[in-house]
Structure 1
């Protein structure tokens, strides 16, 4: 994770900034109940981070401007033929298409910083991409959206074939499933132009959790059937048709900026658990916990209020990036 720092994303008022610091800290503490957490902290925020995070979370000092670690951090990969090796894909990060408001040049270095810190082999990519723009099933399938990877502000000369070749080279993804777009709010000024990680994810190979908007008053009500049809027509790398499981949105349709993109798809899977987004809607939050518990058998689902995160442009998945554990290798083989 990356600890927030003052700037446009965190908020203009003292109350807004306090809310942002508290939201990132709450997610870090929730994850720390299940597995170790490391936090990149800008030098200007070290004292605050130490006071808020406590002793149980490792802090690494590094320059930070944006703090959506999923997007500017490394995408970790492993190699079945080299069990002790950890790779870190370093996508080119340009602040979601280099909009005028984005502060991204410092955080664009985070993949390299983290790879060096954890001893991972850097896998440099020429593709402008973010971790929130992809989801994989671990068996050779990647989910993408046309409006992210083919965004002319990101990759003006890319086409599907070039993107798919890079997904194969960096992630080992043999099959790409393309969705035509993302959720409506994500195309606003401060959106990502269609990140997949609020739309759909693989809880396991052959199964997809899909955001659902049951209310006709929300524009995503018309978007989701189109995406569901695209998923229904797709096959994964193993040649399977996908089982699509709905994750219905909460009842709230709007906030002060317009139609919300509140999505339970934007959760984080951790060791023995799932950190789920909550939206202050007891019925919908409980329903989502049940669906996630069924989708991830044996894992405890914990809900953290994600409204302050979504107000700033993302959710729990967006501010975290998991690092896989590797089998230990000694002279006698794997342990």
Structure 2
């Protein structure tokens, strides 16, 4: 993880700063109850992080710009030719196609720094990509969105074939399922322009948990319907038909900034648990039950994710896992 450091996160414009610090700390401590957690801390934020984080959280004081480890950090993979080795894919990062509020100088060094802390070899990629822009089943199937990977501000001139070839080289993707666009809020000032981890995720090979906005008054109703239609009848890299499970969207539709992108698909799976976002919403308990069924043997831990979503992402976005070698 990365402790919040960006000005737009800490000036109170989008969420009270105390709520931001508390949300990041709550996620870190929830995960630490099940497995080791390391967090990068910008030097100017070291004292704040020390107040909010217990000593069970390993801290590395290094320069950082933002706090979305999923995106600026590496994507760990297993190398079948080198048992016991988990290379770290270092994507090119340009702040989601050049968002005005985001910096990239320090964040571009994060993937290599994390790989060094993890004693993992670095696998460099020439593609601008973020970890939130892909979802995989671990067996060769990947989900992506066209507005991310084919964004001319990210990868000008790239084709779907170019993207698929690079995903095969770096993460072993043999089947890439393209989704045309993301949720409406994701195209706003703090948006990623279509990250797939706000829409769907594999709970296991062959099973997709899919965001389902059911309110006709929300613009994501049509996005959600198109998403379900796109995934219906799809097959994975082995040719097996995919099963989709609906995750009903929270009932709240708007906040002070406009249409919300609140969803339960953006959760983090850790050893023995699932860390899910909650929104003080009647559907929190519904989603908790669905996730409990989808991840048998894991506890489902809810964290108030509204301060995180106010800044443009969710719990999956602020975390990144390293597989066991």
* TM-score normalized by the length of structure 1: 0.95
Q: Which residue of 1 aligns with 2:305?
A: 306
**1:1-335 alignment, distance < 5 Å:** 1-12=1-12, 16-281=16-281, 283-326=282-325
In structure 2, distance between residues paired with 1:251 and 1:194? 21
**Bigger CA drift: 80-89 or 236-245?**
80-89
SS in structure 1 opposite 2:89? strand
Q: Which segments of 5 or more consecutive residues in structure 2 lack a partner in the other structure?
A: none
Kept after mapping to 1: 8 A contact 2:70/2:320: yes
Q: Which segments of 5 or more consecutive residues in structure 1 lack a partner in the other structure?
A: 327-335
1:151-208 CA-partner distances (Å, limit 9, x unpaired): 0110011110000000000000111000111111111122100000010010011110
Q: Structure 1 residues 166, 13: closer, same or farther in 2, change over 3 A?
A: closer
Kept after mapping to 1: 8 A contact 2:66/2:107: yes
Number of matched residues? Answer: 325
In structure 1, distance between residues paired with 2:6 and 2:163? 35
Q: Structure 1 residues 15, 232: closer, same or farther in 2, change over 3 A?
A: closer
Give me the CA root mean square deviation.
Answer: 1.3
Q: Structure 1 residues 312, 271: closer, same or farther in 2, change over 3 A?
A: same
1:29-85 CA-partner distances (Å, limit 9, x unpaired): 111111110000111111221221011100011101111000000000012232211
SS in structure 1 opposite 2:215? coil
1:271-327 CA-partner distances (Å, limit 9, x unpaired): 01100000011x31111010001111110000000000000110100000011112x
Q: Structure 1 residues 229, 15: closer, same or farther in 2, change over 3 A?
A: closer
In structure 2, distance between residues paired with 1:246 and 1:80? 34
1:214-240 CA-partner distances (Å, limit 9, x unpaired): 111111111111111111142210101
Once the two structures are TM-superposed, the CA of residue 13 in structure 1 deviates from its matched residue by: 6.4
Q: Structure 1 residues 14, 197: closer, same or farther in 2, change over 3 A?
A: closer
Kept after mapping to 1: 8 A contact 2:179/2:230: yes
Once the two structures are TM-superposed, the CA of residue 6 in structure 1 deviates from its matched residue by: 4.9
Structure 1 stretches of at least 4 aligned residues deviating more than 6 Å after TM superposition: none
Kept after mapping to 2: 8 A contact 1:67/1:107: no
